Amino acid sequence: MSEHNCLFCQILDGHIPANIAYEDERVMAFHDIAPQAPIHILIIPKQHIATINDFTEEHQDLLGYMILTAQKLAQELGVAEDGYRLNFNCNRLAGQTVFHTHLHLLAGRPFSWPPG
C-alpha cells in the first residue's frame, strides 16, 4: 500500500500524526497542516498513486469515490449549501508538492476565479 518516502503514505501507515476527518477502506481525509481556507481537507486514496497522470481506467471509480467523499464531508461540515471548492493539482507547475494524489476540499470563505 505505501511508498516509504511518501509523506501521505506515512500518514496512512500511522507513522506521522494527522487530524483525520474521515477514513474507510478506500480513502482517508485529513485537515491540511497549512490551510488555505477555514476548512481545508485533503482526501487521499489509500493506494499510492503519484499524480492524476498515473490514474488508469481501472481507477475511475476511485476518482468518483473521492469526489463523493468530499461531498459527504462538505455536508457534514455544514458548507455544502454555501459552497466549497474541490481541486486536484497535477505536477509541480500546477502546485502539487506531495506526489500522492490528493483532492483538496476548501470552504468557509469566498473564492475568486481564476485561482492564483
- Give the active site residues: 102
Quick check: 9 and 20 in contact, CB under 8 A? no
Q: Strands (DSSP E) along the chain, which ranges?
A: 20-23, 27-31, 39-45, 84-88, 103-107
DSSP three-state, residue 110: coil
